[in-house]
Structure 1
């Protein structure tokens, strides 16, 4: 499977084409919309989250609730388009003089994007680089989850750290996920969640922002997904690529991850046993995070992703106007 997406943050909508979905896969807009609603929830959500009421539309590739084997066309309309349709119009006309952006914000794609693509109005950059784009990716992920569900595989996630306030590692990822669903910060541990919210409030009071770490677990994974045969087909590499393609992500680790660099090999590698009752090779630990040699080993896939603090701050950072070359506080 692969996908391409398109659309600007304040354009008419977000769209995607998903190729390689097998025929006969049950998919419904209702299931995907539930994930879109989850995306827009949580403590401290931004103003744009309150404006949009994202709903997916299947434009093609699905009939009567089942995929046809053709490419899927997905579309999410931007409700805020009504306030931007003149500024973001696709029809020929003079350059817009409203909401022109010439002041790049540190931590965003503004300056490098303007230089790379030759834009004098940075809005041409930020409209696509915006995290608004993740809405259509959530919808694409919903299709992928429907496929994995056919093999009784689940993908769950929860927050492990916000601003240095860390949650204990859960024993049961599925139970942790259920608890996280009840949390405003998607943390499985209620006491840690309270401290995380306090940390967010303290940062906001200072005009600052926080980063964090979330954990993703894939359960009921068979042995043999991925390969060592080619570098770009190693499953760990592909998952890391996908995670790092999300806006503001700065690091990925699997299993014991970076901690394994500080340990002896005897403390890191998972022993192999054979269960005669089931006829299966088993492990009693999962420091590898479910991957060895780019291939799944039958254990749950466990990865953690580090997100930098949001680059939009109440406390300004120094920058320079690309037109006047004068300094300003962004």
Structure 2
């Protein structure tokens, strides 16, 4: 299974084409729209989320509510496009028309792709960079993850995400919470936090950052429950599933770090407090007493819940902008300001959740026969029964 995305932040639409989805999978637009609504929510979002109401259109690969096995096309239209048709249109314009619009961007924002992308691709107007590098592209990545979740639910695998830290404020989260508990509790929190008191402090920190013209980041966590043993592989570096997940999480806009299970904390503990003892019983088969390694050993799933944390830096667009240099005059200026959030960590939790779901679903389809969803369900069930009595 694979996908490509296309589209700009203020272009007419965002598009993704997905190939390799099993046939006969029940799929309707609401399956995707639920996740798009979740992505747009969260305390600290900016004005853009008041303009857009993200809804998917399924344009191919689904007939009468079921996938056909052909490539699937999702489209999400940008409502704000009507205000940007001249600035972002594909038709050529004259120098006079361009000068009249006065929207040429020559001041790169620290922390953004603006300057690097302009140098790499030779753009004197950095809008050609920031429109594609915008986190708005994660809209259709979430749409792909929503499809992945439908596949995973068909084999009784559930995914949940929540926020652990915002602006240095850390949630106190009980261990061994089920995915269902995480889903229910995170959905009622404006910051997707499982600790109500910490959540209130996080909202105060977001308000303060907004008042200061600043931004704050945080840490999100994703949990995947119900996976069979053996997804991924130990035999080569590029087949290790934890490595694929780590790379995918790092590809999310503004993410700067990934941890599996204990992550960096493992460096501070002796091996006796890191590795998970193996146990067995007839009903469940092989399990671990603990889950410090986050559901992975040797690049493969071990049957325990997969636990992934992602670190999101503060959004670099600041209403009290940092210093930068105009690429035309080479003079120092305050960096340009585009519409922005003061904190997007709650929304990033949803993005991370769907990105992880995608990688897990891809691994499932790589491992088992999957031309039809029934083939996949039967193959996964057989493997899980076989592993119990191995």
**Match for residue 317 of structure 1?**
322
Match of 2:159 in 1: 155
Post-superposition CA distance 1:165-205 (Å, at most 9, x none): 00013331421221110011110111110011111122222
Q: TM-score, normalised by structure 1?
A: 0.97
Shift of 1:279: 6.5
Provide the residue aligned with 1:124 in structure 2. 128
1:255 aligned partner: 261
| Alignment match, 1:54 | 54
Residues 35-77 of structure 1: CA distance to partner in whole angstroms, max 9, x if unpaired?
1111111112111111001110111111011111111111011
Q: CA RMSD in A?
A: 1.1
Is 1:282 paired with 2:287? yes
Task: Write the distance in 1 (CA, Å) between the matches of 2:190 and 2:285.
Answer: 40
Is 1:115 the counterpart of 2:119 in the alignment?
yes
| Aligned pairs for 1:138-287 within 5 A | 138-171=142-175, 172-174=177-179, 175-275=181-281, 277-278=282-283, 280-287=285-292
The structure carrying a bigger strand percent of its residues is 1
Q: For each residue in 1:242-261, what CA deviation from the matched residue of structure 2 results, as whole angstroms up to 9, or x when unmatched? A: 11111000000011110001
Q: Report the Cα distance in structure 1 between the residues aligned to 2:33 and 2:285, rounded to whole angstroms.
A: 39
Q: CA deviation at 1:288?
A: 0.6
Q: Does 1:73 align with 2:73?
A: yes
Q: Give 1:294 shift.
A: 0.7
Paired residue for 2:311, among 287, 290, 306? 306
TM-score scaled to structure 2, two decimals?
0.83
Q: Is residue 31–residue 147 contact of structure 2 (8 Å, CA) maintained in 1?
A: no
Q: Residue 39 of structure 1 aligns with which residue?
A: 39
What is the aligned length?
329
Runs of 4+ in 1 over 4 A off after TM superposition: none
Task: Look up the match of 1:19.
Answer: 19
Contact 1:170 1:176 in 2 (8 A): no
Give unmatched runs, 5+ long, in structure 1: none
C-alpha distance 324-279 of structure 1, shift in aligned 2 (>3 A):
closer
- 1:273-305 alpha-carbon deviations (Å, 9 max, x no partner): 122x32611111000100111100000000100
Describe the superposition over 1:194-217 as per-residue Cα deviations: whole angstroms up to 9, x where unpaired: 011111122222222111000000
8 Å CA contact 1:156, 1:173 repeated in 2 = no
Partner of 2:333: 328
Corresponding residue SS for 2:215: coil
Greater relative CO (CA pairs within 8 A, separation 6+): 2
Q: Give the equivalent residue in structure 2 for 1:105.
A: 109
CA distance in structure 2 between the partners assigned to 1:210 and 1:48 by the alignment = 18
Point out where structure 2 has 5 or more consecutive residues left out of the alignment. 336-390
Cα distance in structure 2, aligned partners of 1:155 and 1:220: 9
